[in-house]
Structure 1
Amino acid sequence: MTNLTLPTQREVTDHVRRAVRRASPFVEKFARVGYAAKGAIYSLAGLLALMAALGQRGGETSGARGVMQRLFDQPFGLFLLGALAAGLACYAVWQFIRVVEDPERVGNDANRLMKRIGYFGSGIIHSALVVSAINLLLGYARHGDDNASARGWSATLMSYPAGRWLVAAIGIGIGVYGLKQIYNGFTAKLDRIDVSPLPRAARRWVCRACQFGLAARGLVFAIIGTFFALTAYHKRPSEAKGLSGALDTVREQAYGPWLLAIAALGLIAYGFYEFVKAMYRRITVS
């Protein structure tokens, strides 16, 4: 009988890296399509929230799954949702490539490790969105509310030993990430964007819009992270919230419609930021 020799982890990693390098022109296109798909999600979520803030018919606070359902319900919805799902799949692939290959090699070792953990989490989240889109396309299920999704997996995690602490860690991580995005927005630390081809006046306004969007999304994520931390603290999965829940929280405050309108404009600006990344981000696949 022939002995079967399994490849080592290093051999597998080297093989993946060689494959990525050979496919580098396609990988860059995947990344840009992915950024555009992510921009579409946030722009549409912001537009729906702005309509809700202005009392317009059809407006609602919605997460990514709600946006996909609204797209699917439109004329040519099958095509629109299919295109969005393909774009989100491209983004998930790009995130997983960043985990394995680390093509952009930024920061020290500890910082790099944290970034790669973040890329992995982002890849998982966007893969789940692709699965949700496919379910819609195949008619297996209507969209699930993102709050219900957050509560569901929080309850699942908390059913395991130490699951409560894992939910708390996730909440703290989301909150810290949100605060970092707020900081990056205020300090103009944009993600490897080169808008030098644009006229100087246009560059200034593009960067300001991107900063506003980054800070607004950071605030929304800080709210989401806070609710996950409270979920763990109170041992109540029902307190977990997604994007729509965070926007509802904003609307429930004093001057809620005004605050919701500002948050909605921020999400639209963040979607614009992702479109800018799709066009002008420096993407390295080495």
Structure 2
Amino acid sequence: MADVSTHVPSPPPQWVENFAKFGLTAKGVVYCLVGIIAFMAAFELGGQSTQNAGKSGILKTIQDLPAGNVLLGIVALGLLCYAIWRFIQAVKDTEGKGSDAEGIGKRLRYLFSGLVYGALAYLAANMVLGNSSGGSGSGGSRETLVSKLLAQPFGQWLVGIVAVATMLVGLYQIYYGYSDKYRKKVRSAGLKDEVEHQMIRAGKVGYMARGVVWLVIGYMFLQAALQSNPQQAGGSSDAFQFIENSTYGSIILGAVALGLICYGVFMFMRAKYQPIYTTSGAS
């Protein structure tokens, strides 16, 4: 027990904890809206389409609400806080992942996550300032990326590597949902059994749904590589459209959408209950 006590995480500065919790809440808002719009698109409710379910489409949906620019500004700030927290995790190694190959890999994932949500925060801020309509969507940015990669020597191989890496991320998300890895953080919070079980169920379904979306995006990148056609690549809205066009597509898309809503709820629960640490070493 004495050895365990020397590795009890220490509490972070208040501003770091506030950044993390505000960021997790903003992320939860985005994923819940993505799931809701995708579910409505799957069953043709309210005139929604899969194009509106992409993250850029969700930002436009927020902007179109009453006081939309204010709400979108709050979401942008929250996403920026989330990105900054991820950068802190990566650079300062706040969870004690270490500097071996496995630890560096995990910290690079935090860095990548920070870059993704930092870019989303930038897009949202530009929309608030009137510098972007948000209409180009994530699919357009991916097509641009693939075009640039294909123009390089061994371009198809480069796009293929991106495709395989993306699909591996999807498979890892599904595995992560099935494994006990994310449950350890939930169980370390000392929650009541009912709340803990709810978090575990929401996390399991949410991670699996995210994994499916990443797998589809990776498959589209692979098709872009094989056909040397950047228009085959796409983002989440294109992935939703791909799923919807498949056999039993509406049912599958509806299930994935519900999973993404669960992931958003899991983010809310993490913001409320999960301890935020500065280090996993001795305090």
What band does the TM-score fall into relative to the shorter chain? 0.7 to 0.9
Deviations 1:6-44 (A, max 9, x none): xxxxxxxxxxxxxxx998321121111111111111110
1:221 is aligned to: 214
Cα distance between partner residues in 1 of 2:214 and 2:265: 18
Question: Does the 8 Å contact 2:25/2:267 carry over to 1?
Answer: yes
Q: What amino acid is the match of 2:60?
A: Q
User: Which deviates more from structure 2 when the two are superposed, residues 268-277 or residues 69-78?
Assistant: 268-277
Give the aligned CA root-mean-square deviation in angstroms.
2.2
Amino acid at match of 2:26: A
Q: 1:117 to 1:168 in 2, by over 3 A?
A: farther
> Is residue 12–residue 278 contact of structure 2 (8 Å, CA) maintained in 1?
no
Q: Would the aligned equivalents of 2:41 and 2:49 in 1 still touch at CA under 8 Å?
A: yes
- Which TM-score applies when normalising by structure 2? 0.87
- 2:122 alignment partner AA: V
Aligned residues of 1:194 and 1:280 also touching (Cα < 8 A): no
By relative contact order (CA 8 Å, sep 6+), the higher-ranking structure is 2
CA-CA distance at 1:109 after TM superposition: 1.1
1:94 aligned to 74, 85, 104, which one? Answer: 85
Matches within 5 A, 1:1-286: 24-61=13-50, 62-106=53-97, 109-143=100-134, 144-190=136-182, 192-194=185-187, 198-286=191-279
Q: Residue 10 of structure 1 aligns with which residue?
A: none
- Closer, same or farther: CA 133–175 of 1 in aligned 2, 3 Å: same
Distance 1:233 1:107, change over 3 A: farther
Identical columns (%):
36
Q: Which amino acid aligns with 1:236?
A: N
Checking the alignment, whether the CA contact within 8 Å between 2:38 and 2:49 is kept in structure 1 is yes
Shift of 1:195: 7.3
Residues 55 and 137, structure 2, Cα contact 8 Å, conserved in 1:
no
Distance in 2, Cα, partners of 1:78 & 1:129: 15
* 8 Å CA contact 2:97, 2:106 repeated in 1: no
CA distance in 2, matches of 1:30, 1:110: 28
Q: Counterpart amino acid of 1:239?
A: Q
Residue 161 of structure 1: CA displacement?
3.2
Distance, in Å, in 2 between the alignment partners of 1:244 and 1:161 is 30
Q: Where does the alignment leave 5 or more consecutive residues of structure 1 unmatched? A: 1-20
CA offset at residue 46 of structure 1?
0.4
Unaligned runs of 5+ in 2: 1-9
How many angstroms apart in 1 are the aligned matches of 2:126 and 2:248? 38
User: Higher mean Cα deviation, 169-178 or 251-260?
Assistant: 169-178
Instruction: Please report how far the alpha carbon of residue 237 of structure 1 lies from its aligned counterpart in structure 2 after TM superposition.
Output: 1.0
Q: What amino acid is the match of 1:270?
A: Y
1:102 Cα shift? Answer: 1.1
